[in-house]
Structure 1
Amino acid sequence: MATHRSRRLRKKLFVDEFQELGFELSFQYEEGQRDDAIDAFIKRFAAIVESNDLVYSGCDEYGLICLARRGSVSAEQRAMIEGWLKQQPELAGFTVSPLIDAWYPDQPVTPPAP
């Protein structure tokens, strides 16, 4: 059954044309990594995230990145974070998810209107 909602309600619920996208991250650190090295990595990571108008919600092993204001993370911002992570010596590996609905992760991503 289709749900018909007013534009105002769709905006409040962040659905349909108001869907906001983000992406999930998980980190795997090099074996034997010291706590101070991980702390330094997290501080550098926070600086690069914030300087690109993004926010990270999570812990030092996994989390979600969203836009710091209303709206969606772009594919370019996602690729920039992924490229930066590839250069970090503290990481043995990491995963970056495709763009997902930041409010309702189980919902499919709605293609932008033409």
Structure 2
Amino acid sequence: MATNRSRRLRKKLCVDEFQELGFELNLDLKEDLADEAIDAFLDAFLKQAMEANGLGYVGGDDYGLVCLQKRGSVSEEQRAAVEAWLKGRSELTSMTVSPLIDVWHPDMPINAKA
């Protein structure tokens, strides 16, 4: 595809100045957790870590993608806040928070302006 695109097309494709950033999560829950404890953890995660920071989560209880609830990019501060919240949880044996990535085109590098 041509790289000389109109502003409207760049916005529609979420590229260049319209690139949107997010991050991936890998969560390892303790094996002996009851279903109620897993549900309580996920409810707290969605309310306290996601909604409180204006973020949305797409995925399951072990892997997912975090992006902004509206158009735009997740900030490094929001990513750090989610990571800090997860580190304080006893339900997890381990977790991995990726660096910020392009949520629409994960193989593309991050723009300096994004």
Return the TM-score normalized by structure 2: 0.94
2:32, 2:24 → 1: CA distance? 25
Counterparts of residues 53-72 of structure 1 (less than 5 Å): 53-72=54-73
Counterpart position of 2:46: 46
Letter in 2 for 1:85: L
Separation in 2, partners of 1:74, 1:96: 14
2:30 aligned with 1:19? no
Which residue in the other structure is 1:74 paired with? 75
SS at match of 1:10: helix
Q: Take 1:35 and 1:93, find their aligned partners in 2: how far apart are those partners? A: 19
- Give the share of equivalent positions with the same residue, in percent: 61
Cα distance per residue 1:1-38 (max 9 Å; x no partner)? 86110011001100001000000001001231111111
Moved over 2 A (4+): none
Structure 1 spans left out of the alignment, 5+ residues: none
Aligned-residue RMSD, C-alpha: 1.3
The residue that corresponds to 1:102 in the other structure is: 103
SS at structure 2 position matched to 1:107:
coil
Aligned partner of residue 98 in structure 1, secondary structure: coil
Figure out how many residues of one structure are paired with residues of the other and give that number.
Answer: 113
User: More deviation in 78-87 or 33-42?
Assistant: 33-42
User: Once the two structures are superposed, what CA deviation does each residue of 1:48-87 show, in whole Å capped at 9, x if it has no partner?
Assistant: 2012111000001100000011100000000000000000
* Correspondence 1:10 to 2:43: no
Rounded Cα–Cα distance in structure 2 between residues aligned with 1:39 and 1:76: 27
CA distance in 1, matches of 2:103, 2:95: 20
